[in-house]
Amino acid sequence: MKSVQWHDTHITILNQQALPHKTEYLELKNIKDVWDAIVTLKVRGAPAIGMTAAYGLALAAKSYETDDLAQFHAELKRDRDYLASSRPTAVNLFWALDRLMKSVAHAKSVNEAKTTLIHEAICIQVEDEDVCRRIGEHALSLFQDGDRIMTICNAGAIATARYGTALAPFHLAKEKGMTLHAYACETRPVLQGARLTSWELSQAGVDVTLITDNMAAQTMKAKRISAVIVGADRIAANGDTANKIGTFGLAILAKAFNIPFYVAAPLSTIDLQTKTGDDIPIEERAKEEVTHIGGVRIAPDVNVYNPAFDVTPHELITGIITEKGIIFGDYETKLPTLFEEVFA
Ligand code: MRU
């Protein structure tokens, strides 16, 4: 079961807004459908957003009628900018779109460019599966059989091509016959932890316990949580990490309880152009996400502040787990080395 799939005339996505009640696939037939699915969180999670946008751009380009390369590039740039306007925080969105733009910079014909875009988008998805598996293997090296590990939001298989980032060690542990106990924070306001992580892990046969967000401190203490692992939407050059709202609070609690706090993310989430967390744009979403749950109003019509992400300062992060390995501390020096090619 794939969260995103290319079908030549359309893209299918697993509708993450319908979970856990319904396992429903939606067909995205044009660029507007793609933009809308990203904005409304039908597809979500940094790598899945990047993959979907890449397919969306390839799909849009397929429909261009021009044979003129300059005109093709102008239309492509317009559509790249439109898709880039869907969500501001996850850098994978811009990374994937720009990777597609670069792939056709030297195309010799419109037809060649159209084929290249599709090929490049498929490569992003295929590579992500391998990347996530590697992240999972590295993450697993940090854990012992029987560990109790807390997470927030959903950085799982449905947010990536497969396995997930923060959830990859749980899936791999299961494959290898090792037991890891997951503690999933429900993740208000949109409940990615309750609706998605607890669904995904229980479907996979992983032992998962759901808590509300305000139970994190008590759970760390009473259940002797071994570690916290979270995904990321953007990691700045100094290691400051934007992830789902509530992550920063968990990092502070982990520090108070002397529990390791890990960030698991692919290189495509590391943004060396963004110097510190203060430079990461934080998405603010509609007030109804806070005043309502499942379409039912739970609060009067008052002012609401609804940041979708927060930034965990690098000094609270024990290690950053990537497909190239784990780095501990001094992120400013070590993050750029991950991008260096290793020649055997
Ligand atoms: O608003 P969302 O649900 O897209 O936020 C998702 C997260 O914060 C994830 O932790 C992150 O994108 C990593 S997904 C592998």
Q: Closest Cα to residue 3, out of 229, 189, 199, 150?
A: 199
Rounded average pLDDT per 10-residue block, the chain, 344 residues? 93 98 97 98 98 98 98 98 98 98 98 98 98 98 98 98 98 97 98 98 98 98 98 98 98 98 98 98 98 96 98 98 97 97 63
Residues in the chain: 344
Question: Which pLDDT value is given to residue 1?
Answer: 66
* Catalytic hit among 233, 240, 271, 310: 233
Closest approach atom of ligand 1 to CA 243: 8
Q: How far is the CA of 44 from the centre of ligand 1 (A)?
A: 6
* Cβ contact 255:316 at 8 Å: yes
Q: Where in the chain is the domain with CATH 1.20.120.420?
A: 4-131
Three-class secondary structure of residue 47 per DSSP: helix
Q: Note if 130 is an active site residue.
A: no
Q: In terms of C-beta density within 10 A (0-12 exposed, 13-18 middle, 19 or more buried), how is residue 122 classed?
A: middle
- CATH homologous superfamily for 4-131? translation initiation factor eif-2b, domain 1 (1.20.120.420)
Cite the annotated binding site by residue number: 44-46, 87, 192, 243-244
Å from CA of 181 to ligand 1 middle: 21
pTM of the predicted structure, to 2 decimals: 0.97
Query: Distances from the Cα of 32 to the Cαs of 20, 53, 153, in angstroms?
Result: 26, 11, 26
CATH 3.40.50.10470 in the chain, residues?
Answer: 144-338
At residue 34, the pLDDT reads 98
45 lines ligand 1 (CB under 6 A): yes
CATH topology assigned to domain 144-338: Rossmann fold (3.40.50)
Q: How far is the CA of 73 from the centre of ligand 1 (A)?
A: 31
pLDDT score at 31: 98
Using DSSP bridges, classify how beta strands 270-271 and 261-264 pair: parallel, antiparallel or unpaired.
Answer: unpaired
Rounded distance, CA 209 to CA 222, Å? 13
Which atom in ligand 1 lies closest to the alpha carbon of residue 46?
A: 12
**Residue 341 confidence (pLDDT):** 76
